[in-house]
């Protein structure tokens, strides 16, 4: 795995804060996620691959930072490390997910065995989170098992990958995850873009 950023590398956010890279946490289709020090505390930094670091994505990130999170359970973009700060591309800072939060892979591998009460709590919290997101006029676009984590003792949830959230009605950078996408988004030719309406379909699949 090629690491774009190096341990000890210092970057600067648009708000003027220094970000010090500590180590790589993982990577995905859009970029890499690092643990960093920011404002004297540990945070996460998502750094985009060169081919995913589009002008449209950067504009959307700036709007998400400006408008702020609809709920603390979203690991929302807090500040941006813009292009031209000593590394190719750009990224954004978000809260770090605690080690006591689990995902679907942990559930399938039996590393997480939440009680029925914890699962019910997680379902209620997810519905509440997306309701608050939609009430702000946002569309998540890509609700799926890969974006949700829960505390398997309490059922408290965290939602990540919020960089693809858009204002409802905008053209998204991503269309969703196969298996969770509404039929009108998956057909060829596509008859609809992701929206608040199609988010509800994806949420129903996730809860099921």
Residue 4 in any domain: the answer is: no
pLDDT of residue 193: 85
- Residue 134 sits in a domain whose CATH number is 1.10.510.10
Is the pLDDT at 54 greater than 60, yes or no?
A: yes
In this structure, the answer to whether residues 108 and 202 fall within a common structural domain is yes
- Give the pLDDT confidence of 167-199 residue by residue, as tens digits: 998 887 777 888 898 888 887 677 788 899 999
- Give the pLDDT confidence of 12-42 residue by residue, as tens digits: 999 988 999 999 999 888 899 999 999 999 9
Is the pLDDT at 2 greater than 70, yes or no?
A: no
- Edge-first strand order for the sheet with 148-151 is 101-102, 148-151, 157-159
Please report which residue ranges of 48-157 form alpha helices under DSSP H: 55-67, 104-108, 116-135
Q: What is the DSSP letter of 92?
A: E
162: three-class secondary structure by DSSP: helix
Is the pLDDT at 1 greater than 60, yes or no?
A: no
Q: What is the CA radius of gyration of the chain?
A: 17
pTM score of the predicted model: 0.89
Residue 36 in any domain: the answer is: yes
Domain carrying residue 155: 101-207
**Low-confidence winner among 19-23, 85-89, 150-154 (lowest mean pLDDT):** 85-89
For 71-81, give one letter per residue: b (16+ CB within 10 A) or e. Answer: bebbbbbbbbb
């Amino acid at each position: 795995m090629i690491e774009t950023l190096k341990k000890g590398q210092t970057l600067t956010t648009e708000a003027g804060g220094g970000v010090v890279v500590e180590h790589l946490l993982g990577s995905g289709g859009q970029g890499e996620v690092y643990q960093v020090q920011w404002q004297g505390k540990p945070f996460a930094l998502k750094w985009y691959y060169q081919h995913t670091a589009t002008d449209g994505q950067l504009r959307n990130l700036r709007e998400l930072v400006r408008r702020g999170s609809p709920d603390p359970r979203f690991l929302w973009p807090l500040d941006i490390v813009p292009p031209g700060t000593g590394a190719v591309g750009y990224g954004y800072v978000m809260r770090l997910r605690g080690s006591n939060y689990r995902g679907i892979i942990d559930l399938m591998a039996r590393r997480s065995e939440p009680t029925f009460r914890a699962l019910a709590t997680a379902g209620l919290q997810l519905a509440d989170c997306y309701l608050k997101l939609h009430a702000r006029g946002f569309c998540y676009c890509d609700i799926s098992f890969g974006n949700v984590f829960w505390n398997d003792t309490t059922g408290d949830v965290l939602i990540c990958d919020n960089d693809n959230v858009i204002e409802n009605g905008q053209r998204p950078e991503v269309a969703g995850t196969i298996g969770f996408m509404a039929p009108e988004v998956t057909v060829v030719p596509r008859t609809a873009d992701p929206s608040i309406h199609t988010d509800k379909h994806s949420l129903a699949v996730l809860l099921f």
